[in-house]
A and B are shown apart, each in its own frame.
Chain A
Amino acid sequence: MVEISASQPPSEATGGSTGMPAGPDVPSPMETAFAPPRGTTWNRVDPVLTWYRRLLILAATIPSAAVVGLCAGLWAGWGWSVPLVALVLAAGALGWVTAPRVHASWGYAEGPTDFHLTHGVLVRQLIVIPYGRMQVVDVTANLLEQALGIATVRVRTAATTTDARVPGLRLEAAAQLRDRLAARSETFSTGL
């Protein structure tokens, strides 16, 4: 979909292999399997998502490190608290380091009849949602997202097992995506 890729930063629309592990020149079977639908490319989300994620990690890591350190220190002796705190911090650091990859794993594409969505670093997913099956398309932004100027588009279908959302879109892009999806779900509308 041309109009969509236009709305994205050009550097982000370069294709599916960005940031994925083990990317030799020849696309691995895994990459082919997660390729965008024919005639489209993955639209990548805004890089701000990386910082959004990092801030979240920070906000989770520091307090929990403090709590863990304090509790361990008080109950088991301060000798215990150091490794525990280090563990928590290491986990946070891991999240911090992998944030760009998580960001790069998100991609969406609007095929002619279906909305394609991919994400996940450890567990990669490809989700195909027919436009006709979309029941609700909404845009949400929590406080942090608002501060960063991004929003999440969430698509709901009658199948509750799927959590289909596209985080880290610029507000305008999110609104446009929502409108496009809503319009298409109208044209392709089918009952339950």
Chain B
Amino acid sequence: MNGPDETSSPEGPDSGHLRGRRGLRRAEDTAPGQRSPSNSGGWFGWRRSAAREASGPPEPHPAPRGESGSGLREVTAPNDAVPLEDPQSPPIARWTFGDLRRAARRTPHTMAGPEASGSAEPFGPGRDGPSDRPASAPLRGTPDRNAGPLPDGAHPWEGSPGKGPGRGTTPLWGTPAAGPMTRGSGEDEGPSRAPSDPPRGRPRFAPAPPPSGPPTGFVPPRGPWPAVPPPHPPGPPPVTPMPGGHVPQGHLPPPAPAGPVRFLPPTGPGLPPPHPPGTPVPHPAARPAPEPDVTTGTHRLHWATIPFQALVFVLVFLAVPGVVLVEFGWGPVLMLSLTVAFGAAAYALAAWWNVTFGLRDDHLVVHTGVFRRLSREIPLSRLQAVDVVRPLLMQVMGLAELRVELAGGDSSEIRLRYLGRGTAERLRAVLLAHAAGLSGRTPEAPEWPFYKLPFGLLLGALAFRLPVLGAFVLLLLLLVTGLAFGELGVLGGAVPLLLGLMRGFLGPLLRYTDFYASLSPDGLRLRYGVFQARMQTVPPGRVQAVRIVEPLLWRSLGVVRVEANVAGYVGERQMDSSTLLPVVPRRLAFALVNEVFPGTDLAGAVLHPAKPGGLPGAALGVDDRVFVTRSGLLCRVIDVVPHARTQVLRMTVGPVERLRGTATVEADTPPGPVRARATGRDVAEARRVIDGVARRAHTARSTTAGPERWATRGDLFG
């Protein structure tokens, strides 16, 4: 744990904050009467984790530790905190695959279990799952896991412990006011809070419109960031203490109609927001320049698009033909440039005029085209992901591009460029609300920090990989020899190496600088990049499969990379956007998977190694929720496909495999980096796996409806 540890010292306090916050949320859960109007806007927790709730009051002592070093820490802390200060929570971060393998050996090779006769409950992991647990217990988090500072544990999804496993009973969002309020206090309230350490990530994307009336005075002076007002270490049993005194709530406008709040279901499309229109929706008022209300009517792109496009035209003209024309003197060039500028401006004006977008019911209607009109109507229930992209220039100009991903292939993406930044973010929230089945006027969902990637860790991890190190060493050798012998021929080798390094090291480094991931009811939100700031949002249930990549050297750092298959990300954008977490401590990665696929316990999954003699390192595990494969000896890859998302199951036996009596089992998902292939399984076992997974997948599909309009149903993630 070299890399992460450098920041580890001050985090104790931070995790305290997280806990404190969780306590706060839970307390609020118990007192639904107090709720901010914005909360009643209908966002409820996008998942209710039955398992976790059932596991009882997780944290014995919310340990409100004093103060933290800087606000940033609060998220990074838990990662690093694990080994150091939470000895009694060994969980995910601790186990290694060696443990796994050992445990798998301890348990009989279940997958190839004795009863090969294809019983009704054919395959091992499922069958043995429960009974194996003891054996694998050391691997799993056990209750302590929740007690640990796992950030996800600190997340508000944890309902009040009192509510028991009835996951449906507590709104996760909807009650607690902490989210938006604190966030507001954290960032929007800039002046009042000490701007000591303005989290680098924040300014680029304001996550939410300014909250109505956040408690300015209360704000933690060192301004940790989004939430977590440290002052309220709402005592240990966070459940009971109705934090009347705890600040954010005190400021909440007493939400009269807040009702019992489960979730306030969506009003029909176009209907007024679920909450009384008077109280909520603070943003329009709060914003200095009222932005257009994107929920109604048709809109155009930002006007600055016109001069921008014209400028680009002129620059291109000057760069290409203009250079040639200089021979004729500057006069003609100037004249021609002016002509081009006017023409381009006229065209840009026409194009700008012709691009309109607007919401109609549950559809986003986009008209484009000057000469050839194109009109697209996108049912938002089919939305796969929404990204806001802001290249450097656009950041300067305050513009943003909005990309709406649909599941229809490479050309199915809607790109609106460019919008005003505020408009883009508002539209993003509206689209996601519609996708969830809520009214477009629902305030932007709150979010809870999940992970912040320290730059040092990113830099170190990216550099600390065999290919990068190897290429670097080779490059140095080449250069040294080239210099020593005055030989220019080394450039032939050095240039490709340099390009490779740029692609494998510099590219990700610049791309993921300032990486920040948060969880919100409308999905997983990722913000990253400096030169091209991006905000990605993947709604819940849209992640089709996940893989955890663990290069050889990263294992000593305890970090991994998490990638996902999302149906909208195909072709070029698959490379672009499918990485969910570029560098993350292993246990957080597992925690994320558990969040993305509710009900899974990845750390508890028992992997069964393949028959010896095949590819080394291959293993397969199946439990009630997921199909997990592991592959690779040096670079370990764990692919996770939840049964509910499995598209096709395949068993393949090639000529060599036939000799060995093995088969390959594969769970296909929409295209992406994840390919869950389990090689080297015994044929009989493979067939049992196929049958068992097919059955579970059927159960999973019939108990969980699709992700459309998820917020209006209680059954998602059932």
Interface residues, chain A, with chain B CB atoms under 8 Å away: 29-30, 32-35, 37, 113-114, 122-130, 132-133, 157-162, 164, 188, 190-192
What separation, in Å, do the CA atoms of A29 and B544 have in the docked complex? 33
Task: Indicate if the CB atoms of B670 and A192 lie closer than 8 Å.
Answer: yes
What separation, in Å, do the CA atoms of A21 and B119 have in the docked complex? 26
- Cross-interface CB contact of A29 among B648, B671, B684, cutoff 8 Å: B684
From residue 258 to 284 of chain B, which have CB atoms closer than 8 A to chain A? none
What separation, in Å, do the CA atoms of A29 and B657 have in the docked complex? 13
Task: Indicate if the CB atoms of B690 and A161 lie closer than 8 Å.
Answer: no
Task: Indicate if the CB atoms of B683 and A29 lie closer than 8 Å.
Answer: yes
From residue 639 to 688 of chain B, which have CB atoms closer than 8 A to chain A? 646-655, 658, 661, 663, 668-671, 675, 683-684, 686-687
From residue 586 to 634 of chain B, which have CB atoms closer than 8 A to chain A? none
B706 at the interface (CB under 8 A from A): yes
What are 27 residue pairs bridging A and B, where the CB atoms are less than 8 Å apart in the complex?
Answer: A32-B683, A33-B651, A33-B653, A33-B663, A33-B684, A113-B694, A114-B698, A122-B654, A125-B651, A128-B694, A129-B649, A130-B648, A130-B694, A130-B697, A132-B701, A133-B647, A158-B567, A160-B670, A161-B675, A162-B647, A162-B668, A164-B648, A188-B701, A191-B705, A191-B707, A192-B544, A192-B706
Residue-wise interface mask of B (694-711) relative to A, using a CB-CB cutoff of 8 A (1 in contact, 0 not): 110110010001111000
What separation, in Å, do the CA atoms of A52 and B89 have in the docked complex? 65
- Cross-interface CB contact of A126 among B654, B658, B684, B690, cutoff 8 Å: B690
Task: Indicate if the CB atoms of A130 and B650 lie closer than 8 Å.
Answer: no
Task: Indicate if the CB atoms of B647 and A127 lie closer than 8 Å.
Answer: no
Which single residue of chain B is at the shortest CB-CB distance from A155? B648
- Cross-interface CB contact of B653 among A30, A132, A158, A191, cutoff 8 Å: A30
Interface of B is mostly: mixed
Interface residues, chain B, with chain A CB atoms under 8 Å away: 118, 382, 384, 407, 544, 567, 646-655, 658, 661, 663, 668-671, 675, 683-684, 686-687, 690-691, 694-695, 697-698, 701, 705-708
What separation, in Å, do the CA atoms of A30 and B658 have in the docked complex? 8
What separation, in Å, do the CA atoms of A113 and B567 have in the docked complex? 24
A29 and B694 in contact (CB under 8 A), knowing A158-B647, A160-B670, A191-B705?
no
Which residues of chain B have C-beta atoms less than 8 A from A34's C-beta? Answer: 651, 653, 687
Task: Indicate if the CB atoms of A190 and B701 lie closer than 8 Å.
Answer: yes
Which single residue of chain A is at the shortest CB-CB distance from B686? A33
Task: Indicate if the CB atoms of A123 and B655 lie closer than 8 Å.
Answer: yes
A125 and B687 in contact (CB under 8 A), knowing A159-B669, A191-B707?
no
Which single residue of chain B is at the shortest CB-CB distance from A129? B648
A128 and B684 in contact (CB under 8 A), knowing A29-B661, A190-B706, A192-B407?
no
Which residues of chain A have C-beta atoms less than 8 A from B671's C-beta? Answer: 159-161
Task: Indicate if the CB atoms of A130 and B675 lie closer than 8 Å.
Answer: no
What separation, in Å, do the CA atoms of A30 and B684 have in the docked complex? 8
Task: Indicate if the CB atoms of A157 and B650 lie closer than 8 Å.
Answer: no
Beyond contacts A32-B683, A159-B647, A162-B647: 11 other A-B pairs, Cβ-Cβ < 8 A, are: A33-B684, A33-B686, A35-B687, A126-B650, A126-B690, A127-B648, A130-B646, A157-B647, A157-B668, A161-B668, A161-B675
Which residues of chain A have C-beta atoms less than 8 A from B663's C-beta? Answer: 33
What separation, in Å, do the CA atoms of A37 and B118 have in the docked complex? 11
Task: Indicate if the CB atoms of A124 and B653 lie closer than 8 Å.
Answer: yes
Which residues of chain B have C-beta atoms less than 8 A from A29's C-beta? Answer: 661, 683-684
Q: Smallest distance from the beta carbon of A96 to chain B beta carbons, Å?
A: 21
